[in-house]
Amino acid sequence: MNNRIYSAGTADATTANTVSVVGESAYQGTLERIGGGRTIDGVRERDHQAVLLPEPDNRYDPNAVRVAVLPEGVIGYSKRADAVAYRPAIDRLAAIGMLTACRASLSGGWDRSGDRGFIGVRLHLAKPKALLAEMEKALESAAATSRASSIQE
């Protein structure tokens, strides 16, 4: 845990998950900036750190999860089923003032003499149950370290 950000990614292939982002069509300008511009082969910079932000006041879905690359801004939303699955972990971290982050990969975004490709986004993070278990273990460890540190002072 660094700077109040919890990395929801995993190196363990058995608990890895790739999640598509929806609504990117509304954020193509932001995605183009984040991607460093378009080339004949697609955006220049494909991998970024995204934060997953709960949006309980969303008028369409109270379980909505906004996906943003800071400081640039929103790049889309989690699908409804993914939002429901990941919200327990995201909400748990938000309750203690932490952000949930993961790797976001951009795809597409080519510019071939007027043929411009749509820029899509995929998130790379642990499966929901594995994420919640890993997160709780890390938070318990951090709390234990904090208690031990305060006892020694």
Give tens-digit pLDDT for 40-80: 999 999 999 999 999 999 999 999 999 999 999 999 999 99
Q: Is 60 exceeded by the pLDDT of residue 2? A: no
| CATH code of the domain containing 22 | 3.30.70.2330
When the pLDDT of each residue in the chain is averaged and rounded to a whole number, the result is 88
pLDDT at residue 81 greater than cutoff 60: yes
Q: How confident is residue 97, by pLDDT bands cut at 50, 70 and 90?
A: confident
Distance between alpha carbon 32 and the CA centroid of its chain, in Å?
Answer: 18
Residue 24 has pLDDT above 80, yes or no: yes
**Count of domains for the chain:** 1
Non-local (6+) Cβ contacts of 4 within 8 A are 97, 98, 99
Task: Calculate the dihedral angle through the C-alpha atoms of 121, 100, 74, 86, rounding to the nearest 10 degrees.
Answer: 60
* Phi, psi of 54, rounded to the nearest 5 degrees: -65, 145
Looking at the predicted structure, is the pLDDT value of residue 115 above 70? Answer: yes
DSSP assignment of 117-140 equals PPEEEEEEEE-HHHHHHHHHHHHH
What residue type is 146 in one-letter code?
A: S
HSE-CB of 137 using CA atoms within 13 angstroms: 7
Task: Give the amino acid at 42.
Answer: G
Mean pLDDT, to the nearest integer, of 18-34?
96
pLDDT at 3 over 60: no
| Residue 139 pLDDT grade (very low, low, confident, very high; cuts 50, 70, 90) | confident
Phi, psi of 77 (to 5 degrees): -135, 155
Residues 21 and 120 sit within 8 Å (Cβ to Cβ): yes
Q: At what angle do helices 128-152 and 80-95 cross, to 10 degrees?
A: 10
Domain hosting 22: range is 5-152
Q: Residues of the chain with pLDDT > 70: what percent?
A: 87
pLDDT of residue 1: 40
Q: What is the pLDDT at residue 147?
A: 64
Helix (H, G, I), strand (E, B) or coil at 112: strand
Which strand (E) or helix (H) includes residue 73?
A: strand 73-78
